[in-house]
Amino acid sequence: MKMRIEADSMGEMPVPADALYGAQTARALANFPISGLRFSRPFIHALGMLKQQAARVNGALGLLDEERMTAIMAAAAEVINGELDEHFVLDIYQTGSGTSTNMNANEVIANRAAQILGRQIGSNAVHPNDHVNLGQSSNDVIPSAMHLAAVLELRRDLLPALSGLQQSLEEKARDFDDIIKIGRTHLQDATPVRLGQVFSGYARQLALALHGLEAAEDGLLELPLGGTAVGSGLNTHPQFAEQVIAALSTLGGRPFREAINHFEAQAARDAAVAMSGALKRTACALYKIANDIRFLGSGPRCGLGELRLPPVQPGSSIMPGKVNPVLCESLMQVCAQVIGNDAAITLGGLSGNFELNVMMPVMIHNLLGSIALLAGAARQFDHGCVKGLDADRQRCASLVEESLAMCTALVPAIGYDRAAQIAKEAYRSGRTVRQIALEQQILPAQELERLLDPLPMTEPGVPGKTR
């Protein structure tokens, strides 16, 4: 490989001849050969947006000449569009401030801008610190890019995916509203419920999760940009942050705002922790929904069998004809990973030492990873499973009739103890509550028929007294 020699404050460093990054990135590349995991496309996109608008504002404020400003903005546009991704080479597990990746961006943009101006890579015709990083510090740029990327991905990907799934669950709630099934508590038979009511509960879970995500988003709309090294704003123009953030709001379509207190905004990452908590809540809701559907579709002959899941692929390498609830299982695994990501983000949030959090790269990686995972899995679960769900009406009706919990509707008429005796006899003999009650003539047959009608049991009220 052909190399060139570049220098930084620590001395000379060999760099691949065609690399747009420079000495500081090369040092970090040598220091952190840890995982092979790099910053995601959404984060690099957000970093490019920030650098582009920083150059424009610095030019407008008279701090950057027009030629360099134009070249930096053009180079940053290529970063935004993903054209320079191969030059963003650093591992997630690096300096906790993300300084290495901020310098990676500064060097790539500076060298690409130099090329645009007809100058050589490494010439410092556009300087990574003096020009691209003008008015900035890694300590305010990296968390600002984190917030920007998370909000954009939340709005672009996750919220639409969850909203689509919620709508599908609401449609199933309407489609299944006339189907009466047995309820279950503690994994045991309980009183009847309509299948539509069950799905309305799932839809409401997602509605609440969406509300939680939107509430958590508000903290991410506050950007630390303008605080520079420790929150004091040293070496940045007083109008710099306000103008850059106004441009990002226009470009991103969200009302970003400058941090009220820059010392909090750089020392703590509480907004990211809060968003991760909202993502974890969403994962818990999705896990519950997927797991319920998986069990309700168990069978096809020896399980609960109340739902029929769409067959999407063969389920076994040894058992012919077996079909498994693979989309439910896929979503559940994603939810487990998101909950694990939240643990890493929470630990990262603990590491706000004095004026700076030093776990930002791993927090960024896991936060954006959770958003992407939930969006992809929810969308696939919606289209591949929920939309194609059907119910086995006959199976639902037969399980209701066989349930011992049917005796609950008799309690207001005959008392708890006598109803319990009927349930025990039904269990012992293998017959239904209806059959035992008729045999023992506890009530007139017409009254029993009315009390043991499962449909009224799915609504509030006391059978035979208040409806």
Q: How far apart (Å, rounded) are the C-alpha atoms in residues 113 and 377?
A: 39
- What long-range pairs does 383-389 form, CB within 8 A, spacing at least 24? 384/310, 384/312, 384/327, 385/293, 385/309, 385/310, 385/312, 385/325, 385/327, 385/328, 386/165, 386/168, 386/169, 386/172, 386/293, 387/168, 388/309, 388/310, 389/172, 389/293, 389/307, 389/308, 389/309, 389/310
Q: What are the tokens at 384?
A: 């591949």
Name the catalytic one among 186, 200, 262, 398.
186
Strand partners, 66: none
Q: Decide if 212 contacts 158 (C-beta within 8 A).
A: no
Indicate the SS3 state at residue 382. Answer: helix
Q: What are the tokens at 144?
A: 């600002």
Q: What are the tokens at 435?
A: 């059959």
Q: How far apart (Å, rounded) are the C-alpha atoms in residues 408 and 423?
A: 9
At which residue do the structure tokens 């998986």 appear? 294
Name the catalytic one among 35, 123, 211, 316.
316
Catalytic: 45? no
Which amino acid, 389?
Answer: L
The H-or-E segment that residue 15 falls in is strand 11-16
Pairing of strands 352-353, 356-357: antiparallel
419-446 as b/e: b if 16+ CB within 10 A: bebbbebbeeeeebbbebbbeeebbeee
Catalytic: 186? yes
Q: Taking Cα atoms as reference points, which of 193, 199, 204, 192 lies closest to residue 175?
A: 199
Q: What are the tokens at 138?
A: 């890694």
Neighbouring residues of 304: CB distance < 8 A, sequence distance ≥ 6 = 295, 296, 297, 298, 399
Helix and strand tally (H, E) in the chain? 17, 10
Chain centroid to CA 2: how far? 43
Q: How far apart (Å, rounded) are the C-alpha atoms in residues 165 and 18?
A: 46
Catalytic residues: 186, 316
